[in-house]
Structure 1
Amino acid sequence: MCGIAGWVDWNIDLTQQKETVRKMGKVLNRRGPDERGEWFSKNVGLAHRRLIVIDPEGGKQPMVRSYQGNTYVMVYNGELYNTQELRVRLKNRGYNFQSHSDTEALLISYIEWGEECVKYLNGIFVFGIWNVARERLYLARDRIGVKPLFYTQFEGSFLFGSELKALLAHPQVKSEIDKEGLAEILVMGPGRTPGHGVFKGVKELKPGYYLTYDQGGLHECKYWSLESKPHEDDLEDTIKKVRELFVDTVKRQLISDVPICTLLSGGLDSSAITSVASEGLQEAGKGQLHTYSVSYEGNDEYFEANEFQPDADDKWIRLVSDYADTEHHNIVLSNLKLAECLREGVYARDLPGMADIDVSLYLFCREIERDFTVAVSGECADEIFGGYPWYHREEALNADTFPWSRRIDSRTQIFKKEIVDRIKPKEYLHQRYQEALDEVPRLAGEDAKNTRMREMFYLNLTRWMPVLLDRKDRMSMYTSLEVRVPFCDHRLVEYVWNIPWEMKNYAGMRKGILRAALKGILPEGVRKRPKNPYPKTFNPDYFNATRDLLREILNNPNAPLLELIDEAVVRQLVERDHDSDLPWFGQLMRIPQLFAYLIQLNIWLEEYDVTIC
């Protein structure tokens, strides 16, 4: 993967502003430490930072191609998994290739199909193409939103970047948030409303969208969306189709000119990917697959089973590693290091995030990157197939809000009354929830149960899944590790979207249709193992460390956090000597993670010099 940034300006000669564009690229260096490149004309500056995965020589960027008297310049972050099919199709149309890189295949796809090129792509991507003759910028983002892209515009200028930090490196972009940005942080956070960039005037290009920018202005277009239609396949054919799509997706995503590994938790999703990937590498003569898992100091002593984490992972990891014949590596993280690195988590996201859930992934990826450049991970199967407890619990289904944000009253109590009066947390949350429901593509004639389940799947795919994809992208790319997510293949998402609930929940098991499709791919014990989420620490050392750090902030009269919180309420929480048994956000974020989120919020306000206006 890579980092991209750019500036289009109709009023300023950007050949005289090269240093600013270079700064916008430089702050993305962790996304692409291997090469840097820039391209300038009077009205455009483009910056690229490259992590080399495919074709070291043929994939250099910005990539420039001339065709029929026009010139096209592209910066690209991502990976295409249908490059060979594109090359064949384009060669048949008379195009010649100078490399085997997906970068060249992508640029020629744009030259041939123009703005419709995205409809021919299978992959994870954001890219920008400057059409010299038409003086038009084209930006596009993959269908599911695996790769990020932010933009802003002002006074005849348009800026874009892979991360918020690229925009903030421009002198005209200020670290300001208004009432809505504050509500995103305090109410939706660590999630985010699609399209919202939190900082004033900053937007996110939504998944499945492209935009064009020229002297006529900015125009956005939605090129992909979920389509609701009757599911025509019977159970047997559905199981077969899910299996075929899954296996094909995993094997496509093994393409790489550098070593590749998988993340293995011993759960259904990562284990299935590992099994198929191991077979795929052996078929390609690429040797034994390496797998990686993460755990925490003291978890063997302090682990407590609960609804979200019914058992520990260790024995299942060993079982899968032996079954798939992998060389396995277990990374054990320090609980004190988790607390110490909360600052790094903020720098990676440019926002307060998922606390140790973020930081542990950052530390995990940092260890993997010592030996590998590409990893494959099992994210997003639960959103697509219905694996979370909230798909199966009536109180969550009937909550009339996002199931991961049901404790809004508890959250509201920790803020000052004047802040609550300003952002109106309950109203803001309900507004965003209703907006999401209004987007759901309905199916005429669907019964009440399937109608509600379709809503739940839509909420998870478009509001919850982006939280995890943001986390995966920022934490891994902050260590220069590319992580691929096969369950986000749009063909699989489209097909499973219309499978009725009773079939998805086949045999009364969570993700039952996926489990049926994986028969023979996994050991039976793993195939039937209840869902376990990403591993977290249970060691009280982390609770104590975050409590101590938050105490320090509370005792600092100049801490910016104090402008937002009800200090007395937070001090009461800090003086408790035990954790809470119910997450305040998602599945894993309990009291220590609330402490850590407030710590990260203070770091963000301070280090990014955020002004609330």
Structure 2
Amino acid sequence: MCGFAGFSDYDDSLLDEKYLWMALARRMARRISHRGPDGHGAHVSAHCALAHMRLSVIDPQNGQQPMTAVCEGKECTIAYNGEIYNAAELRADLERQGYTFYTDCDTEVVLNAYLCYGEECPEKLNGIFAFAVDDGIRQRTFLCRDRFGVKPLFYTFKNQRLAFASEIKGLFEFPGVNPVIGREGLCEVFGLGPARTPGHGVFEGISELRPGHFAVFDREGWRDDKYYDLTATPHTDTYKDTVQTVRELLVDTVKRQMIADVPLCTFLSGGLDSSVVTAIAAKLLKEQGKSLSTYSFEFEGNEEYFTPSSFQPDRDQAWAQRVSQILGTDHTTLLCDNDRLADSLFEGVIAKDLPGMSDIDGSLLHFCRQVKEKHVVALCGECADEIFGGYPWFHRREMFDGTHFPWSNNLDTRQSLLKPEIREQLGMEDYVNSRLAETLADVPVLEGETLEQRRMRQISYLNIKWFMSTLLDRKDRCSMYSGLEVRVPYCDHRIAQYVFNVPWDFKCPKGEPKGLLRDAAAGLLPEEILRRKKSPYPKTHNPGYERILKQRLHYILRDKMQPIHKILSEEAAQSLLNQSFDYGKPWFGQLMAGPQMLAYLIQINYWLLHYNIYIDL
């Protein structure tokens, strides 16, 4: 795991002022140095500059980047961020074809795969990745991103030059790239946030390479191509065979993702998803005579103030400890207090370059920083709900009828936060509806499906393309902010593609949410763990946290120099301060309720202030 930045120009040569351009590339990469604290490097050719910050996971002694190979007498250089889980097989295949390797790291595997397969290279990779190649053979720059966008890659154009970076902040070091927000950006933040339209960078002129896409930039210009998407195919396996296939894929995926030359752990909430991953990992390590370290997360005061809801039926702590005892892991519970949680809102903005899931992001930042003190790699249970259909909106018809995003089905509160004249100017409802319609139009169709089967395919596709992307983005930014690599076994494209076509009555047998996953994990854990009702990532229920948020928002509203006053409805904001919130009624996802709306506004104000954003309507 790493971070990189760079730029390309095919009209002029960069060699005439090589060290000036190298210094610029280094400055861009230095802005994201948290992603790679273990090393750095830079490269400049006639038409491309690359700089890299390295987090060593495989072969720490070697694998420095940017990495260059010579083919046909010309250089090809890569800057890469990610992990390839089929690197051993791919390496053996490339060796049979005559390619030589000088390191054990997967960076060299990706570089040689690109030399061998060109634009078909990403189809050969099983992993999480984003990379840029300065291709001196074909005289082009090649950018690529993994199938589900686990690893980020942003880009922009300035004066005929392409600039790119793992995070947006790196682009702001490039001359002439400034933080400007227009109508679409405000619609993204207030209408869709903390989700974001795939490929949309929110800031004017900034885009993100979409998941499952690669792009080529050369003298002919820019070309963006899709190399992967979910496809609709008939599912012919019996339920028994489906259960067996899912189990085999899960075990294989976890085994692949445990490969590391640095300390590894898992996040363990005691829920189904993380417990299954932990059970497989613990078993594999035990076979090697090793024990697994696990972590769970809790908040100060939750023992006293937690109230069950349909979204969060119980607390995790006792369950996490029980699973740890059963599996024999070395378990640690990490705690976050109110003040630390409130302060983390600001770091959350810097980590993402955008307002995000407020304290949900901030707490993960805090926890990842603590995990990094002893570990470099962690496995988590993220993405199982999107793949296997675990969220409430999969099961409650009123939460999804195809006319709104199921995790954010009411724009009234969001729109009321804006000044009336800005609200009218934005046309936010039309913007949000158009983004939904665009995604639904892309849902693959299987001939002969019933309307209900089609609806379930739509909701699965929406969740994978939108909600899962939001959580993956959160996971990457919050973990890599401390140089911690978090891997997501359920996001393996083989699992996602296979389960995408499994009939709903297989995914949810006898009406049991994620029953397929529970049956596939039979024998790995006791039935009480396997059948536990879903409980999401924990959040604080301590009223002291709400008091801190109200106090901080109150100070912002009193200070007329704060930038949020340009867009915020004072009346709506004051109304929020006077409310007593229901923690069980979220406005986004399952966790973001009233206090998180206060936190989101605090984040928006800090974002506008910290990045000195110009609002251009």
Give the TM bin, normalised by the shorter chain: over 0.9
Match of 1:258 in 2: 262
CA shift, 1:579, in A, is: 3.7
CA shift, 1:12, in A, is: 6.0
CA shift, 1:146, in A, is: 0.5
Task: Find 1:168's aligned residue among 164, 169, 172.
Answer: 172
* Structure 2 counterpart SS, 1:17: helix
Paired residues of 2:306 and 2:541 also in contact (CA < 8 A)? yes
CA shift, 1:231, in A, is: 0.3
* 2:442 paired with 1:435: no
* Structure 2 counterpart SS, 1:3: strand
* 2:114 paired with 1:110: yes
Residue by residue over 1:280-303, the C-alpha shift from the partner in whole angstroms, topping out at 9 and shown as x without a partner, is 122234x11000000001100001
* 2:56 paired with 1:47: no
Instruction: Tell me how far apart the structure 2 counterparts of residues 514 and 289 of structure 1 sit (CA, whole Å).
Output: 22
Write the mapping of 1:440-589 to structure 2, written as runs, cut at 5 A: 440-579=443-582, 581-589=584-592
Paired residues of 1:543 and 1:579 also in contact (CA < 8 A)? no
Match of 1:135 in 2: 139
Instruction: Tell me how far apart the structure 1 counterparts of residues 364 and 23 of structure 2 sit (CA, whole Å).
Output: 33
Compare 73-82 and 405-414 and name the one that shifted more.
Answer: 405-414
Match of 1:26 in 2: 30
* 2:278 paired with 1:277: no
Instruction: Tell me how far apart the structure 2 counterparts of residues 96 and 577 of structure 1 sit (CA, whole Å).
Output: 65
Task: Find 2:100's aligned residue among 96, 118, 122.
Answer: 96
* Structure 2 counterpart SS, 1:265: coil
CA shift, 1:58, in A, is: 2.6
The residue type paired with residue 209 of structure 1 is: H
Residue by residue over 1:194-226, the C-alpha shift from the partner in whole angstroms, topping out at 9 and shown as x without a partner, is 010011111110000000100110101100111
Match of 1:372 in 2: 375
CA shift, 1:267, in A, is: 0.4
Paired residues of 2:71 and 2:137 also in contact (CA < 8 A)? no
Match of 1:124 in 2: 128
TM-score, normalised to structure 1, is: 0.99
Instruction: Tell me how far apart the structure 2 counterparts of residues 83 and 521 of structure 1 sit (CA, whole Å).
Output: 28
Instruction: Tell me how far apart the structure 2 counterparts of residues 579 and 396 of structure 1 sit (CA, whole Å).
Output: 19
Instruction: Tell me how far apart the structure 1 counterparts of residues 582 and 519 of structure 2 sit (CA, whole Å).
Output: 37
Write the mapping of 1:405-444 to structure 2, written as runs, cut at 5 A: 405-444=408-447
Instruction: Tell me how far apart the structure 2 counterparts of residues 26 and 163 of structure 1 sit (CA, whole Å).
Output: 11
Residue by residue over 1:401-454, the C-alpha shift from the partner in whole angstroms, topping out at 9 and shown as x without a partner, is 101111211211121111111111211111111111011001111011111000
Instruction: Tell me how far apart the structure 2 counterparts of residues 395 and 542 of structure 1 sit (CA, whole Å).
Output: 32
* 2:396 paired with 1:393: yes
Paired residues of 2:48 and 2:141 also in contact (CA < 8 A)? no
* 2:18 paired with 1:6: no
Q: How many residues align?
A: 612
Instruction: Tell me how far apart the structure 1 counterparts of residues 94 and 175 of structure 2 sit (CA, whole Å).
Output: 42
Paired residues of 1:75 and 1:129 also in contact (CA < 8 A)? yes
Paired residues of 2:581 and 2:595 also in contact (CA < 8 A)? no
Paired residues of 2:344 and 2:365 also in contact (CA < 8 A)? no
Q: Given the superposition, is the C-alpha separation of residues 71 and 284 from structure 1 closer, same or farther in structure 2, using an over 3 Å criterion?
A: farther
Instruction: Tell me how far apart the structure 1 counterparts of residues 60 and 68 of structure 2 sit (CA, whole Å).
Output: 16
Residue by residue over 1:118-170, the C-alpha shift from the partner in whole angstroms, topping out at 9 and shown as x without a partner, is 11110000011111132200111001110000001122200010000111121
Instruction: Tell me how far apart the structure 2 counterparts of residues 498 and 399 of structure 1 sit (CA, whole Å).
Output: 19
Task: Find 1:224's aligned residue among 223, 228, 247.
Answer: 228
Runs of 5+ unmatched residues, structure 2:
none
Paired residues of 1:288 and 1:326 also in contact (CA < 8 A)? yes
Q: Given the superposition, is the C-alpha separation of residues 580 and 99 from structure 1 closer, same or farther in structure 2, using an over 3 Å criterion?
A: closer
* Structure 2 counterpart SS, 1:185: helix
Residue by residue over 1:48-104, the C-alpha shift from the partner in whole angstroms, topping out at 9 and shown as x without a partner, is 000000001231110011123221100000000001101111111112211111111
Q: Given the superposition, is the C-alpha separation of residues 399 and 550 from structure 1 closer, same or farther in structure 2, using an over 3 Å criterion?
A: farther
The residue type paired with residue 538 of structure 1 is: H
Paired residues of 1:266 and 1:320 also in contact (CA < 8 A)? yes
* Structure 2 counterpart SS, 1:405: coil
Match of 1:180 in 2: 184
CA shift, 1:394, in A, is: 1.4
Paired residues of 2:156 and 2:207 also in contact (CA < 8 A)? yes
CA shift, 1:580, in A, is: 5.0
* 2:350 paired with 1:347: yes
* 2:150 paired with 1:146: yes
Paired residues of 2:310 and 2:584 also in contact (CA < 8 A)? no
* 2:359 paired with 1:356: yes
Paired residues of 1:11 and 1:156 also in contact (CA < 8 A)? no
Compare 342-351 and 3-12 and name the one that shifted more.
Answer: 3-12
Match of 2:162 in 1: 158
Instruction: Tell me how far apart the structure 1 counterparts of residues 288 and 173 of structure 2 sit (CA, whole Å).
Output: 44
Residue by residue over 1:265-320, the C-alpha shift from the partner in whole angstroms, topping out at 9 and shown as x without a partner, is 000000000000011122234x1100000000110000110011001112211111
Paired residues of 1:336 and 1:541 also in contact (CA < 8 A)? no
* Structure 1 counterpart SS, 2:585: coil
CA shift, 1:107, in A, is: 0.6
Paired residues of 2:68 and 2:78 also in contact (CA < 8 A)? yes
Instruction: Tell me how far apart the structure 2 counterparts of residues 399 and 575 of structure 1 sit (CA, whole Å).
Output: 34
Instruction: Tell me how far apart the structure 1 counterparts of residues 583 and 529 of structure 2 sit (CA, whole Å).
Output: 30
Instruction: Tell me how far apart the structure 2 counterparts of residues 370 and 56 of structure 1 sit (CA, whole Å).
Output: 18
* Structure 2 counterpart SS, 1:352: coil
Match of 2:597 in 1: 594
The residue type paired with residue 355 of structure 2 is: P
* Structure 1 counterpart SS, 2:407: helix
Compare 346-355 and 50-59 and name the one that shifted more.
Answer: 50-59
Compare 12-21 and 505-514 and name the one that shifted more.
Answer: 12-21
Instruction: Tell me how far apart the structure 2 counterparts of residues 385 and 448 of structure 1 sit (CA, whole Å).
Output: 20
Paired residues of 1:262 and 1:290 also in contact (CA < 8 A)? yes
Runs of 5+ unmatched residues, structure 1:
none
TM-score, normalised to structure 2, is: 0.98
Instruction: Tell me how far apart the structure 1 counterparts of residues 42 and 238 of structure 2 sit (CA, whole Å).
Output: 53
CA shift, 1:399, in A, is: 5.9
Compare 575-584 and 81-90 and name the one that shifted more.
Answer: 575-584
Compare 354-363 and 573-582 and name the one that shifted more.
Answer: 573-582
Instruction: Tell me how far apart the structure 2 counterparts of residues 113 and 226 of structure 1 sit (CA, whole Å).
Output: 22
Q: Given the superposition, is the C-alpha separation of residues 61 and 321 from structure 1 closer, same or farther in structure 2, using an over 3 Å criterion?
A: same
Q: CA RMSD in A?
A: 1.0
